[in-house]
Structure 1
Amino acid sequence: MKKLSMLATCVAGALLSVNAMADVQEIKLGFAAPMTGGQAQYGKDMQNGVVLAVEEMNASKPKIDGKDVRFVLLSEDDQADPKTGSVVAQKLVDAGIRGMVGHFNSGTSIPASAVYQRAGIGEVAMATAPEYTKQGFKTTFRMMTSDTQQGSVVGTYVVKKLGAKAIAVVDDRTAYGQGLADEFEKAVRAAGGTVIRREYTNDKAVDFKAVLTNLKRVSPDVVFYGGAETQSAPLVKQMRELGMRAQLVSGEMSKTDSFISLAGKASDGVICSLAGLPLQEMPGGKDYAARYERRFGTSVQTYSPYAYDGANVLMRAMLKANSSDPAKYLPLLAATSGPGVTTRNWSYDAHGDLKDGGITVYKVVAGKWQPLESLSNSK
């Protein structure tokens, strides 16, 4: 009888547990980024930030309409490919996501954003190309400052602070690389600098000798590269092999530890810009770094704090709207205002661009990235 009683108690407990789980409403969030290939390190870094945000939100026992809810993350590999990005976007929509965190690349985010827009689903992306939020969609929001903001700040910095007179520009023809380079060039000209040559490559190239031979003939003070570390690292190595002393300047996709490893000694002196403040200067940076390292057993990289903030503003908009229905939470997402890990005031303009993010300029000194100066891009 005692054994039967204990068995009955166990069964009852299990049923209660099942019933309790059944009472929790699951809200599916989508995530997509390059998880394989040459840019997989960016995607994993971004994913970690989203995972941490979702786990912490679920641990807080969130409720919507008085009922317990649990956020569930559905992740896809978009391979940094525009066509694949659109395919996985539709797959996530068909799976019933209520909000989207990602994509990473501008080239995948822009075509995928049309899929989410047709479904009426809010998307908070890492994309920095101006075109992402110029489409007029009410569903597109950023995690980082746009290339318009970053390019204009860095272009002015190169002319005014570095004193560069003759500047060459190279980009990889991706939405990100070309967009950043275009905005940089506009800012250089506006600041009184001269762009003496514009060259192009692609995001799979490894041999830049032809491009660099053309640049060497015109002797630029600065070469600006719009693109990722997989091209900027061999680019600067080949610059030094050709005896070019020009300063290499690039954007945030070159500001990685992998860039230094790939470029070796040629990385010394390279300057890169990155949206926001250095981690140690972010309002919530120190505490975030500690939580991140406890969870993943590794140090914070470049993108995870922005992904963490982006995921949180999406989930908080749903909680504030008391609904995961995009029609109800999108107006509150657009009206977001408050502190995050990366900024004291995470808020959007009418296009979904961040109002206040700032730009930090970094330089490789003795094999390490060192912050030089934080510059304002506030609207």
Structure 2
Amino acid sequence: MSVIQWLQLPQEVLLHILTFLSPMEKANVRATCTYLRTLVDRPSLWKSSTIVFKSIGIYNARFWDTLQNRKICSVEVRKVTLKQLKKMASSLPDITNVRMDACLKGEILQGLQPLLNLKQLHLTECSNVTDHDLFTEILFFQHLTHLSLCRVTFSSVLPLTSIVLLQNLYSLSLHSKEGIVPERALQYILFRLPKLRELSLATGNMNKWKLSLCFNMPDNFVSAFEEQPCIPRLQLHKLELMNCRCASLSTNAFNQLSTLKSVCLRHFKCLQHEDFIETILLKLPQLTELKLEWAAPFEPLMCPIPLKLESLSLVGTLISNSTLVWFSKSAGELKSLNLNFSHGYDEEFVKKIPSLFPHLQNLYLSKSRLTEEALVVLANLYSLRVLDISNNLHLSPNAILAFRKMTSNRIGLILDRPMESVKYCC
């Protein structure tokens, strides 16, 4: 088809084709003619895009007009001043999602106040601002549904309790600089945020009783802020514990967490944690996703137990053939298995994956010693749609091409994954 014929396609068809292009490819298409520039700037093509600003001060008025026409909703800021932040907020009034990797200082968040509809705020470096100043400014954004705070220092209980005024919160991440969150304050806010469904904590040296207290019904705790009604039960769906050294939770805590569907233990280094993981599997009947990422080795102590797991992630973890077989007997309906950067299992296990996990739709084997023979066997996973074989030095281009032909290209192969993309940090 010639270029002229291609341009004669209906706009709806062209727009659909453009959705498959990367931002760089869209930019190349945009530079060809006025008609395609108008199409590429359609807001529908950018609604899921995040604009990354490494330095806001270098952009001109035409640049801001282009982004405003695209109705950009999500931005990531690497380096910024208060004046530049105000410029971005006034130029892009449709922003609802802001991630700031820049080090917060003073009253810089005031620059975001023009964003009246801000719903997601992720701050990755809060070590240079006091918790009092931080929460005072965050409370301005009453429509927040997602809040992430990393490297924050909690000086006392009261500043943190002010979060209860953000009654629309759906997701909350608190990763303190010292790895400890005031348990009384956390307990207070968890039972006063009725819409909260996702929680991520860096628990550091919190012991069983302090962590359990966070998930127990609070007593008559008094806050300096207007009292919010206390809900009788938590309704969390996702829980992430980072740098956790706690080996258990109380029975009352597990009862409050019975609605959990996803649990992630990241950088879990407790040497006697098998009982904790198996207790999680036993006590949380709704669990469909389990993540043990960069964790201490896990060797089950019990016989297989019936699980509803659909997704299992064992990233960067020592895991044996026998443990993986245990999971296959416990979670026979598993649809996603992530073994990226894990070790301890061998090629013989990989060859058994089609028989052990026949319903897999997603399989991640980055940096595995995957041979051509094992790759051929994986073609027998008839429900598989995504296969990650990146960072593998044992597969030739010819072997990958042969696999594509064998599976009629029904499986999307991930062949390139930067090492830094799997480094988990706040």
TM-score bucket of the superposed structures, by smaller chain: under 0.3
Higher strand share: 1
TM-score (structure 1 length as normaliser): 0.28
Bigger relative contact order, structure 1 or 2 (CA pairs below 8 A, ≥6 apart): 1
Bigger helix fraction: 1
